[in-house]
Amino acid sequence: MQFDQLRRREFITLVGGAAIAWPIEAGAQRSGKLPTIGFLGTNTVSSQREWTDAFLQRLRELGWTEGRNLAIEYRWAEGRLEQSAEIVAELVRLKVDVIVTHSAEPVLAAKRETAVIPIVFPVAADPVGSGLVASLTRPGGNATGLSLQATDAAGKRVEILREVLPGLRRFGIVANIDAPAAVLEMREVQAAASTVGLATATFEIRRTNDIAPAIDALKDSVEALYVVSSPLISTNRYRLGILAVGARLPAMHGFRDHVEAGGLISYGANFPTLFRRGAEYVDKILRGAKPAVLPVEQPTKFDLVINLITAKALGLTIPPMLLARADEVIE
């Protein structure tokens, strides 16, 4: 009798431990098709590798392995966001189960193309202001994800620029005017500068060929650059880093990747962490959750990254107090 009870308890334990894995495997076997993610990267494969790897790693931790119980259709816009609608239309034709993309333009393109397929954005600068969701607490449609809070961080970046350059009077702003989130951040930067008595000069870009003329036009009239993040900027971050150093302009960025590519300093949300959290949304949706009721979350980690190699090339000495606060120093 005791033996039978023991075996019964062992069976219950075994069933309980397998409960997480069984629905995933069984669902795929019943349908004859693996659950499929349509992954639209706004940049290139290489420039997003760290973010994509973080996303895939978190999926594996949650029980999803590509090729075993999950399929992923990858597409890359390579900074040309005007292609978003065409790429999204293809993913919809493939009948993917969830679309994963980031930045306002691709998410809006996906929302225009489908009101049925769930959309997860690991990164969006201002989801409400850009029209991606109705509210952060209750998105209300077929899209949800994480808010980058890029506009909220703009004032902090201006403060950091002033720490690096105590005599700063005027800085240039480079922004892709075709990116809605970049326009929002540009306005926030202008407002933050005005509040502390700094003048700004803005150069609006739309394509790669606009970047060199922007730096050339600003180099003799400003003392530093504020580079507004966008997929176009990310794809051309090495080009921009070289041009800024060549023009003797210290550059503030929103992403660590841009500082690794030669920018002086960045302050912003940790992108690999955001993509890991994006995977958690995908997991919930593939298990039956509705994006309309999954609240948009905020970043929990902001990184300050400083490139001392670039500082040396520019002849700058970074204040010790700022170095002490840095999350990472490249040297």
Domain check: are 203 and 315 in the same one?
yes
Q: Strand 302-307 relative to strand 265-269: parallel, antiparallel, unpaired?
A: antiparallel
The pLDDT assigned to 250 comes to 97
Confidence class of residue 104 from pLDDT cuts 50, 70 and 90? Answer: confident
Domain check: are 139 and 35 in the same one?
yes
Contact predicate 130/104, CB 8 Å: yes
The pLDDT assigned to 203 comes to 96
Domain of residue 108: give its range.
2-147+271-299
Q: How far apart are the first and last CA of the chain?
A: 70
Share of residues in the chain with pLDDT > 90 (%): 73
Confidence class of residue 178 from pLDDT cuts 50, 70 and 90? Answer: confident
- Average pLDDT on 60-75 reads 97
Domain check: are 316 and 280 in the same one?
no
Query: In whole angstroms, what is the distance from residue 80 CA to residue 106 CA?
Result: 10
| pLDDT tens by residue, 222-243 | 999 999 988 889 889 999 999 9
Whether residue 155 is predicted with pLDDT greater than 80 in this model: the reply is: yes
Instruction: Pick the closest to residue 98 from 241, 291, 236, 257 (CA basis).
Output: 291
Domain check: are 63 and 166 in the same one?
no
| pLDDT tens by residue, 299-309 | 988 899 999 99
Instruction: Pick the closest to residue 179 from 43, 307, 283, 308 (CA basis).
Output: 43
Phi-psi region of 63 (alpha: psi -120 to 50; beta: other; left: phi over 0): left
Whether residue 81 is predicted with pLDDT greater than 50 in this model: the reply is: yes
Domain check: are 310 and 209 in the same one?
yes
Tokens of 302: 């902001």
Query: In whole angstroms, what is the distance from residue 41 CA to residue 287 CA?
Result: 23
- Average pLDDT on 55-63 reads 98
The pLDDT assigned to 151 comes to 62
Confidence class of residue 32 from pLDDT cuts 50, 70 and 90? Answer: low
Tokens of 274: 């955001």
β-partners of residue 36 are 71
- pTM of the prediction? 0.77
Beta strands of 153-254 (E only): which ranges?
Answer: 170-176, 199-205, 225-227, 251-253
Q: Which of 82-86, 246-250, 316-320 has the lowest mean pLDDT?
A: 82-86
Domain check: are 289 and 223 in the same one?
no
Domain check: are 113 and 18 in the same one?
yes
Write down the number of H helices and E strands in the chain. Answer: 14, 12
Confidence class of residue 181 from pLDDT cuts 50, 70 and 90? Answer: confident
233 alpha carbon, distance to own chain's centre: 13
The pLDDT assigned to 21 comes to 39
Contact predicate 28/69, CB 8 Å: yes
Instruction: Pick the closest to residue 255 from 243, 242, 273 (CA basis).
Output: 273
The 3-state secondary structure of 20-49, one letter per residue: CHHHHHHHHHHHCCCCEEEEEECCCCCCCH
Phi-psi region of 209 (alpha: psi -120 to 50; beta: other; left: phi over 0): alpha
Contacts of 276 (CB under 8 A, 6+ apart): 54, 55, 57, 58
- The enclosing domain of 64 has a CATH number of 3.40.50.2300
**Domain count of the fold of the chain:** 2
Query: In whole angstroms, what is the distance from residue 175 CA to residue 192 CA?
Result: 16
Query: In whole angstroms, what is the distance from residue 269 CA to residue 181 CA?
Result: 15
Domain check: are 185 and 94 in the same one?
no
Query: In whole angstroms, what is the distance from residue 178 CA to residue 1 CA?
Result: 74
Domain check: are 105 and 185 in the same one?
no
Domain check: are 9 and 103 in the same one?
yes
The pLDDT assigned to 27 comes to 44
Domain check: are 229 and 312 in the same one?
yes
Query: In whole angstroms, what is the distance from residue 82 CA to residue 73 CA?
Result: 20
Domain check: are 194 and 325 in the same one?
yes
The pLDDT assigned to 16 comes to 42
Query: In whole angstroms, what is the distance from residue 77 CA to residue 87 CA?
Result: 8
Whether residue 14 is predicted with pLDDT greater than 70 in this model: the reply is: no
Tokens of 40: 């639209």
Share of residues in the chain with pLDDT > 70 (%): 89
